[in-house]
Amino acid sequence: MSIVGPGALTEYGSGPRRGGRRRGTVYVDEPATGFFIAGSSLKGLNGIYIRKNPRTVVFSRHTKIALAYENCEDESAWSMVLASTTPLENDFMDPQYEWQFLDPITRKPILRHEGETLIPGSGLRWEHCRDEEETISPGRFYDSDNSEFDDSPKEDRLIQQNCKSKEELEDELPWQVIALLDASITRDLLYTKKYR
């Protein structure tokens, strides 16, 4: 016995019969025109990022930037770049790339994701950046002797320490990274955001 819905020509069911839910992949051969980033506890990080000329992005390091996107929020200066991990001085090496979110003030990378892809993942695929000298992540500032600094410490003696739990650090990661592959979709999202 089968159930047929009113006005239906086929049996009433809950989706495709063979194989259950279908999952697939999409081949992308061009960079996205923008990204929608959400889910981070760093409020300025969330928003619509639009593609920019990589030469216009201010970056604290001397590396090659292949792709650059900037958050179009009025008060935000966050950038997302696909940057080389190889310094420009090492031209003889094949460049390796990684996705990075740049701090709006220091212009140093705060979050990183493995590169070699046109669309980065989300959530735990991102991680906080660590330099040899300092940890680049929002937190408290300390002097070199690990005592909290006063109002005006010397810039060269500062190191930044993460004083956050693992859960707080994970909350800072972008949990939704959606590529906007069509310029009209990006334009529609920007228009909707502007007038809502």
% helix, strand, coil for the chain, step of 5: 15, 30, 55
Pair of tokens at residue 188? 């529609």
- In this predicted model, what pLDDT tens digit does every residue of 145-169 receive, in sequence order? 444 444 433 222 223 445 778 888 8
Is the pLDDT higher at 19 or at 41? 41
- How much is the pLDDT for 138? 45
37 and 46 Cβ atoms separated by less than 8 Å: yes
pLDDT at 67 over 90: yes
Round to whole Å and give the CA distance between 123 and 116. 18
Neighbours of 48 (CB within 10 A): 21
**pTM (global) more than 0.75:** no
- In this predicted model, what pLDDT tens digit does every residue of 178-194 receive, in sequence order? 999 999 998 898 888 87
Phi, psi of 123 (to 5 degrees): 65, -130
pLDDT at 27 over 90: no
Round to whole Å and give the CA distance between 47 and 142. 31
Round to whole Å and give the CA distance between 65 and 181. 20
Round to whole Å and give the CA distance between 86 and 2. 63
111 and 172 Cβ atoms separated by less than 8 Å: yes
Q: What angle do CA 180, 186, 187 make, to 5 degrees?
A: 165
116 sits in the region (left: phi over 0; alpha: psi -120 to 50; else beta) called left
15 sits in the region (left: phi over 0; alpha: psi -120 to 50; else beta) called left
Pair of tokens at residue 122? 């989300």
User: Maximum Cα–Cα distance for the chain, whole Å?
Assistant: 81
User: How far, in whole angstroms, is CA 115 from its chain's centroid?
Assistant: 12
Q: Which of 153, 142, 49, 179 has its CA nearest to residue 102?
A: 49
73 and 97 Cβ atoms separated by less than 8 Å: no
